[in-house]
Amino acid sequence: MGLTPQGTPATGETADWFTRLGFTGMTSSWAFVLIYFFTLLSLGCLIARKLLRFHWRNYAFYMNHIGLWLVLFAAGIGYADMERYVMHVREGEVEWRVYDSEGVVKELPIAIQLNDFDMEEYPPQLTVIDRQSGAPQPVVKPDYYQIDTKSPKGHLDGWDIQLEEYIHHAVRNSDSTYREVPMPGASPAARIQAVRKADGSKASGWVCGGNQAQLYMTLPLNEQLCVVMTAPEPKSFTSDVEVYMPDGVTKKGVLEVNKPLRIESWTIYQYGYDNKAGRLSSYSSMELVYDPWIIPVYIGFALIALGSVAMIWNGRLVKRRKENDERNDNDSPEKE
């Protein structure tokens, strides 16, 4: 299954022989289902036979095999009952509705309130573009200078760039200057000096990438070229949320990528945001996964872990007992 791409052909698309044989849908093929069923059956029979002759010294065997059976059973049943949704929640609002694959609104038994959406960004890059076409220069392999206050010198398409000042959260102070103001509408801005290697011509001023709250600013080099700032790449983005359940249970938390929030049988992941707005995104996208069998799976893994530790411990005891027996045999007087 890990060697072939899994998926179903799109509507109207003709399935090839590889798909007809079931290699692209292993978990839904009869062969997989039968193998899965007989694995559970044989493992269950083995456990039942051992339990009929129950003995405490086999506790490691019981934990390992019962845990494995529980994981396989709960994972198989849970795969059929698992539900996935993507919910878009606006800042300061409560949402409980999602759209299914057919675009129909569906109400969920869970509500999420987005208290705040925040994003950290890397410093942007500078590049030289053609003022007519907007193409980065050189066209074949464009040059980019990653803004770094510890390395203030760079080279762009035959121009030496000197970073004189950088403000990560800047707003316009006048038509051609910027000042630092940590506010939602702020954007990175840099004051640079560009010197052309060929003839020594110079240009200096502010460059800003802009956003939805303020206009961008470029630094003209000549009639054909200018320096621009690229959009900053996201470093991390978080959502401060509060989750409500029908039974009155609530839970607060901060969602981050790979740091989900779990409540009852729901797992909530940070999914995305408005890519065009960036830090000014008015909503946060969250993926909701409903899996009522996740707790039995965790219990099964816990039993497997405990059983493995018990087997290691028992193995050490058996080894120590054999060493003691051998030592006692060597110390005993030989029979005539």
Query: What pLDDT is attached to residue 9?
Result: 58
Q: Cβ distance 247 to 135 under 8 Å? A: no
Query: What pLDDT is attached to residue 336?
Result: 44
* Cut 0.85: pTM above it: no
Secondary structure (3-state) at 173? coil
Query: What pLDDT is attached to residue 155?
Result: 93
Contacts of residue 316, Cβ cutoff 8 Å, sequence gap at least 6: none
Segment 74-92 shows an average pLDDT of 88
Q: What is the number of other CB atoms lying within 10 angstroms of the CB of residue 21?
A: 12
Extents of the domains making up the chain: 17-81+294-330, 85-120+236-264+273-289, 123-232
Residue 259 in this model has a pLDDT that exceeds 80: yes
Residue 217 in this model has a pLDDT that exceeds 60: yes
Residue 80 in this model has a pLDDT that exceeds 60: yes
Q: What is the number of other CB atoms lying within 10 angstroms of the CB of residue 189?
A: 28
Cis, peptide link before residue 5, omega less than 30° from 0: no
Buried b (16+ CB within 10 A) or exposed e, 100-114: eeeeeeeebebbbbb
Q: What is the DSSP letter of 32?
A: H
pLDDT by residue (tens digit) across 156-183?
Answer: 999 999 999 999 999 998 888 999 998 8
Q: Return the structure tokens found at 325.
A: 């027996």
Of the candidates 167, 221, 215, 214, the residue with the CA atom closest to the CA atom of residue 194: 221
Q: What is the DSSP letter of 213?
A: S
pLDDT by residue (tens digit) across 97-133?
Answer: 998 777 788 999 999 999 999 999 999 999 999 999 9
54 φ, ψ to 5°? -60, 135
Segment 300-310 shows an average pLDDT of 92
Query: What pLDDT is attached to residue 21?
Result: 64
Report the chain's mean pLDDT, rounded to a whole number: 87
Query: What pLDDT is attached to residue 183?
Result: 86
Segment 52-67 shows an average pLDDT of 88
Q: Which alpha helices (DSSP H) does the chain contain, by range?
A: 17-20, 30-52, 59-81, 294-331
